[in-house]
Structure 1
Amino acid sequence: MAYMDDVAAIAATRHARMPVVTASTDSVDFLAPVHEGSTICLEAFVTWTRNTSMEVFVKAITENLLTGERHVCTTAFLTMVAVGDDGKPTKVPSVYPESEEEKWLNEGAEERAQYRKKRREQSKTLAEKFGADFPWDPTHNPKA
């Protein structure tokens, strides 16, 4: 998963031509196993931009080096934010999808962005409820 973040950052940096930071990672769904002796190839591209953020699609393909058999083993969307010299978010160029697949991903991006916004609000609620001072004790069983 760390490699997925690295590859997404490379794609976003190439698109924006400025440094980026990771804002979120959507669910990472493992679709096929990666067996010992296989390789993994990661591909990523920016599917959509807002003002300072970029949605990046990452795909990981596993290949059996002995048979050449290849499978998509996982996919994910990451949101990267471009940052200027002052360390603050800065505007990024738009995306111009060309292939049918790129257009399809671009058309669904706004809906995914709304889902991320809702998920972020839920994460903030969890962080408030179970903050840094929450007493973590595996034997503790709080009443609901």
Structure 2
Amino acid sequence: MNVKKPADSYTMMTELVLPNDTNVFGNLMGGRLMYWMDIAAAIAAAKHCNAPVVTASVDNISFENPIKLGNVVHIEANVTRAFSTSMEVHLKVWGEDLTQQYKYKSNEAYYTFVALDPNRKPRQVPKLEPVTEEDQRLFDGALRRRQLRLILGGKMKPDDAAELKALFIKE
């Protein structure tokens, strides 16, 4: 199985915020944005593993700035780390006001996807090799984020989360 780089999965998705996408304040609804983010993240994950993928988890979507009616949404996604059958995807979301000609950060998040074989069972994914300093930073943090997800999901005991414990306990 080939080793891949984060740039190999890079995906940029662009949408226009229309009236049907907004709430009563004229802002893009969070659920609609999460839907678009899920699609962008799934494309990035599928590019990494060349297989169908399903969403396993969504982490801490923090909404920093609303995106207004008529603005453009840019969603950047790429795989930050590959585990055995799962991949973490980092997303950054930008709003763009075309009339005022400026871009602004809306939010970011991490999604986890599992690759599936033809029988819809989890399958191995290619390893990921970080290239840039930013790639390495996201790659290193992915293991801690994964351990936190597993603890919160009841699939790992806190005492077994060595990477997380190392942040808080100096031996």
TM-score normalised by length of structure 1: 0.82
Runs of at least 5 residues in structure 1 that lack an aligned partner in the other structure:
123-144
Q: Cα RMSD over matched residues?
A: 1.1
From 131, 135, 144, give the equivalent of 1:102: 135
SS of the residue corresponding to residue 60 of structure 2 reads coil
Match of 1:118 in 2: 151
Report Cα offsets for 1:26-47 as digits up to 9, x if no partner: 0110011112221101110000
Stretch of structure 1 that moved more, 76-85 or 94-103 = 94-103
Amino acid at match of 1:65: L
User: Structure 1 CA distance, aligned partners of 2:101 and 2:117?
Assistant: 43
Match of 2:45 in 1: 12
Structure 1 segment 1-144 matched on structure 2, within 5 A = 1-121=34-154
User: Structure 2 CA distance, aligned partners of 1:47 and 1:109?
Assistant: 7
User: Structure 2 CA distance, aligned partners of 1:68 and 1:100?
Assistant: 30
Greater C-alpha Rg: 1
User: Structure 2 CA distance, aligned partners of 1:65 and 1:98?
Assistant: 33
Stretch of structure 1 that moved more, 101-110 or 31-40 = 31-40
What fraction of aligned residue pairs are identical, expressed as a percent? 39
User: Structure 2 CA distance, aligned partners of 1:5 and 1:33?
Assistant: 18
Residues paired across the two proteins, number: 122
User: Structure 2 CA distance, aligned partners of 1:53 and 1:68?
Assistant: 38
Match of 1:133 in 2: none
SS of the residue corresponding to residue 136 of structure 2 reads helix
User: Structure 2 CA distance, aligned partners of 1:8 and 1:119?
Assistant: 22
Question: Which stretches of structure 1, 4 residues or longer, exceed 2 Å deviation after superposition?
Answer: none
Report Cα offsets for 1:10-66 as digits up to 9, x if no partner: 000000000000000001100111122211011100000110000000111100111
